[in-house]
């Protein structure tokens, strides 16, 4: 078998299509990715409405049933009244208002349970039907384990906000929770984009390498955004492009906390400055990558996808500036968080399809119809 020819030759138009089972697996993976984005959206709304500490216990099974009687609601409300958040911030809150914040947190947890079922039940079915090869199966098992860990991280995060003197969750734990969700999303999209025929147009090593770097930078920027959200750093320095008149805040402000490394998590000045610098760096590298891809592989799917990543990164940066200038209203903060997932999806699809020529074996058969951002590939 001559691999070199198969690596660059277009797929024959009369070849057999990919098995229906593989198309079903890919559609299932994209459904899971959509649900993860919904989880991130509901989680963001839960955070922005101050609802995340309304449920004070972790009951993975019995917690699926919300309070159904007046006595049950009174019991849940009494538990919340014992939290520092209620005693410091929400003294005098009525039961009707408590039901609203409880609904957000319960909805977030319930969506997580549904997501787990939609992951594991079809996984068993596809495995039994032989629709998963060894590599795909291993990747799915790893994502399943990461999903279970994500549930534990979520409770650890909530528990940090129930400690004495706390009125919100710890910023580092919130950032870890958001980053883990983003890793799961990227993993699902990567595996889904992997289930395609090989793109007919290979890209250069530099384009492939930078595509992967870009996806990694998006994840780092999301983690930095999680720190901004957790520390409420978006509520200060609500000016742009300067930070209250300074291009770079004074060193004494950037490193006002002792020990010095805690400034990267707990100092709102440095936390916001890092997120700003990360955004500038991401947008700059994305556009340089797009120009480079256009120069090295003009007219290819890799070049078009590179411009797609650059455009989304720029739009996300503009949305971030608007969110900052408006001091993080609910609609802007939530839009900024959800749009970050769109940037991540685009960057992940771009990275996977761009490196596919190097890492995938030859595939016999025509590609199944492209999903979403995959349509920017010539193999679509």
Look at residue 364 and tell me whether its pLDDT is greater than 70.
Answer: no
Look at residue 342 and tell me whether its pLDDT is greater than 80.
Answer: yes
Map the chain to HEC letters. Answer: CCHHHHHHCCCCCCCCECCHHHHHHHHHHHHHHHHHHHHHHHHHHHHHCCCCCCCCCCCCCHHHCCCCCHHHHHHHHHHHHCCHHHHHCCCCCCHHHHHHHHHHHHHHHHHHHHHHHHHHHHHHHHHHHCCCCHHHHHHHHHHHHHHHHHHHHHHHHHHHCCCCCCCCCCHHHHHHHHHHHHHHHHHHHHHHHHCCCCCCCCCCHHHHHHHHHHHHHHHHHHHHHHHHHHHCHHHCCCCCCCECCECCCCHHHHCCCCCHHHHHHHCHHHHHHHHHHHHHHHHHHHHHHHHHHHHHCCCCHHHHHHHHHHHHHHHHHHHHHHHHHCCCCHHHHHHHHHHHHHHHHHHHHHHHHHHHHHHCCCCCCECCCCCHHHHHCCCC
Look at residue 14 and tell me whether its pLDDT is greater than 90.
Answer: no
Average pLDDT over residues 107-117: 96
Task: Please answer whether residues 351 and 212 qualify as being in contact, where contact means their C-beta atoms are separated by less than 8 angstroms.
Answer: yes
pTM for the full predicted model: 0.88
pLDDT of residue 62: 85
Rg over CA atoms, the chain: 23
Instruction: Give the pLDDT band (50/70/90) at residue 376.
Output: low
Instruction: Give the pLDDT band (50/70/90) at residue 197.
Output: low
pLDDT of residue 96: 95
Look at residue 374 and tell me whether its pLDDT is greater than 90.
Answer: no
């Amino acid at each position: 078998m001559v691999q070199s020819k198969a690596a660059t030759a277009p797929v024959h138009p009369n070849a057999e299509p990919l098995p229906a089972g593989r198309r079903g697996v890919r559609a299932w993976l994209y459904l899971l990715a959509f649900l993860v984005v919904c989880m991130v959206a509901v989680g963001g709304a839960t955070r922005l409405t101050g609802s995340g500490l309304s449920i004070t216990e972790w009951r993975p099974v019995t917690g699926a049933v919300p309070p159904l009687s007046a006595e049950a609601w009174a019991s849940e409300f009494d538990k919340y009244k014992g939290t520092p958040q209620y005693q410091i911030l929400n003294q005098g809150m009525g039961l009707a208002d408590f039901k609203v914040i409880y609904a957000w947190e319960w909805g977030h947890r319930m969506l997580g349970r549904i997501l787990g079922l939609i992951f594991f039940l079809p996984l068993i079915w596809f495995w039994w039907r032989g629709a998963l090869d060894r590599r795909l199966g291993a990747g799915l098992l790893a994502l399943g384990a990461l999903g279970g860990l994500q549930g534990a991280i979520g409770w650890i995060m909530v528990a940090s906000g129930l400690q004495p003197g706390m009125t919100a969750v710890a910023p580092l734990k919130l950032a870890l929770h958001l980053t883990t969700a983003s890793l799961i999303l990227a993993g699902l999209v990567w595996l889904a984009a992997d289930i395609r025929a090989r793109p007919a147009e290979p890209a250069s090593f530099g384009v492939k390498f930078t595509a992967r770097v870009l996806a990694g930078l998006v994840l780092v920027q999301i983690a930095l955004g999680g720190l901004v959200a957790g520390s409420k750093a978006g509520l200060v320095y609500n000016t742009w492009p300067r930070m209250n008149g300074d291009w770079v805040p004074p060193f004494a402000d950037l490193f006002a906390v002792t020990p010095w490394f805690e400034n990267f998590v707990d100092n709102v000045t440095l936390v916001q400055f890092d997120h700003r610098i990360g955004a500038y760096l991401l947008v700059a590298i994305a556009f340089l990558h797009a120009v480079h891809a256009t120069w090295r592989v003009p007219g290819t799917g890799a070049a078009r996808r590179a411009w797609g990543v650059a455009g989304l990164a720029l739009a996300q940066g503009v949305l971030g500036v608007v969110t900052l200038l408006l001091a993080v209203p609910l609609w802007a903060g939530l839009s900024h968080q959800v749009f970050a997932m769109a940037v991540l999806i685009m960057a992940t699809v771009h990275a996977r399809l761009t490196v596919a020529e190097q890492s995938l074996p030859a595939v016999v058969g025509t590609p199944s119809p492209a999903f979403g951002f995959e349509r920017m590939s010539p193999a679509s």
